[in-house]
Structure 1
């Protein structure tokens, strides 16, 4: 029996997945989470073998959770299950050590088979997403530029971003300018939107 944790902030989707996967004879859903920051405590408490994570969740996103699980619970296999697969997300997921990346519009039997393959030690990534990620998914931003754009997403001033990241206002302006140029954006907000749409943040 393979034990599962499902994390998704959409209650109906999470409960439907739990019900459908719970009907499989070799699966048992032992934990559900509505927020990314609930996952690690739940893993500590319930010890699932597989964690199914949505990407867009409050608290922490699924890719951040995957990276944390890889550090603290490397034995837990992680499968990203999301509504859509932005190309940049696949690279981030692979960097975080996930075992699978699947989209929610796949039939449940394909998801179930993917989980079984993951439990057999295989990696299961939607092949179309791998192609998209290879062609379109590499971020043009440096790690520092990404950090500044991520901080800028909250709408803070240059001074507030500088204070939060412990760098100078001039450095923030330079990195914002570079980020805007590399994403071919009109302004800071547009650069954040483009980077998010590509899964680079």
Structure 2
């Protein structure tokens, strides 16, 4: 099994690569420290499987997974994360990710998961599997977009100009998002949505 590893923390990436190379049936053929580089390696090296950190510079692991599907690349995906967030997990499942594991999982679990995904199965850390039972993202795509821009510091008027809406319509989207998330205000709504991975 030929594997590409993408992880922005050099020490962890090196450790994972060294440990996986000790396995008889696994060969690490490429390493990337950001999502864009990972996608380029996957396109050029054509690995059987890629091990992606969920949060990386330039492109997240989920962005890369979605591009693999869009570009019809024959490469299985296992995501590594430190976050048990339902929004991330649900997005990963929609992108056809075969494995979703916590970074602090034992190495034996990781290597077993890679083999299972390589053979066409699925492997999910038990703690992350619980996310399946958590609430789906209650926000519409437009509400997510408006909240994301508000989180970037844009005013209702700025958001309205960016999205070709009226300021009143933007305020309505913000109010609805605040109501759905049972938040105190827009800042609280942004915090709640980010914590759940609903603005990813």
SS in structure 1 of the partner of residue 189 of structure 2: helix
**Equivalent residues in 2 for 1:121-132 (5 A)?**
121-132=120-131
Structure 1 runs of 4+ aligned residues shifted over 4 Å read none
SS in structure 1 of the partner of residue 55 of structure 2: coil
1:151-176: CA deviations, max 9, x gaps? 22222222332333333333222111
Distance 1:3 1:47 in 2: 8
- Choose the corresponding residue for 1:187, options 185, 190, 194: 185
**2:169 matched residue in structure 1:** 171
Give the 3 Å change call, closer, same or farther, for CA 177–84 of structure 1 in structure 2.
Answer: same
Q: Is the 8 A contact 1:137 1:198 kept in 2?
A: no
Displacement of 1:131 in angstroms is 2.4
SS in structure 1 of the partner of residue 197 of structure 2: coil
**1:34 matched residue in structure 2:** 33
Give the 3 Å change call, closer, same or farther, for CA 43–12 of structure 1 in structure 2.
Answer: same
Distance 1:102 1:173 in 2: 38
SS in structure 2 of the partner of residue 97 of structure 1: coil
SS in structure 1 of the partner of residue 130 of structure 2: helix
**1:13 matched residue in structure 2:** 12
Distance 2:124 2:135 in 1: 14
In structure 2, runs of 5+ residues without a counterpart are: none
**2:101 matched residue in structure 1:** 102
TM-score, normalised by the number of residues in structure 1: 0.91
Give the 3 Å change call, closer, same or farther, for CA 8–162 of structure 1 in structure 2.
Answer: farther
Q: Is the 8 A contact 1:91 1:137 kept in 2?
A: no
Give the 3 Å change call, closer, same or farther, for CA 24–163 of structure 1 in structure 2.
Answer: farther
**2:86 matched residue in structure 1:** 87
| Number of equivalenced pairs | 199
Q: Is the 8 A contact 1:185 1:191 kept in 2?
A: yes
Q: Aligned Cα RMSD in Å? A: 1.7
Displacement of 1:91 in angstroms is 1.0
Give the 3 Å change call, closer, same or farther, for CA 129–148 of structure 1 in structure 2.
Answer: same
**1:196 matched residue in structure 2:** 194
Give the 3 Å change call, closer, same or farther, for CA 168–57 of structure 1 in structure 2.
Answer: farther
In structure 1, runs of 5+ residues without a counterpart are: none
SS in structure 2 of the partner of residue 56 of structure 1: coil
Distance 2:158 2:10 in 1: 35
